[in-house]
Amino acid sequence: MNLASLKGFRCTSRRHFLRTTAAAVGTGALVSTGLWRPVLAATKKSSDPKPIPGGTPALGGAFHVYGPGAPGLDPPDSEPSSITDFKGVVGLAYISGTVVRTRLSTGEADTLPFLFSDMRFMKGVFLDTDGKKRHGTFGFI
C-alpha cells in the first residue's frame, strides 16, 4: 500500500486512539457491572377498567364487546359500553364506505369497500380493577 492510496483518510494520533479506547472500555465496564442501572419509577396501582363480562356470540364471546344495532349481531338494547361499572356517555357508529389503496412503487390505486366498521368512544366515570373511582375517555375502531 502506498501513500497515494491513503489520500482522503485522516490519520489518528496514538494519544487520540488510546483515549478513545480507554473511554469505550470504561463505559463498557460501567454498564456491564451494574453500577449504571436504570431505576424503575414507582408505579401506582392499576387504573385499568374492568371489562364487561362475556361478549357477542357472533364473535364467540371472546371479546368484551356487544354490537347493538349492528346488522346480524346483537339486539338494539345490548350494552354499548365495553366497561363494567361505567357511568358516562357512549358514542357508537357503524361506518360503511370505500377506501382507496395506492401502491407507492407503481402508483396503482384500488378502491376497496369496508362495511359496518364499529367505531366507539366512552367518556365518564368508572371503577378500576382496584375499586377506585376514575375519570377517563376511551375509544376504539
pLDDT at 35: 54
In a domain? residue 35: no
Does pTM surpass 0.75?
no
Q: Which domain holds residue 77?
A: 57-140
In a domain? residue 74: yes
**How confident is the model over 40-93, as pLDDT tens digits?**
555 555 678 888 888 887 777 777 888 887 767 788 888 888 888 899 999 988
Total domains, the chain: 1
In a domain? residue 40: no
Cα(65)–Cα(52) distance, integer angstroms: 7
In a domain? residue 1: no
What angle (nearest 5°) sits at the alpha carbon of residue 112, between those of residues 98 and 61? Answer: 85
- Please give the residue that has the higher pLDDT: either 10 or 133: 133
In a domain? residue 65: yes
Cα(82)–Cα(3) distance, integer angstroms: 74
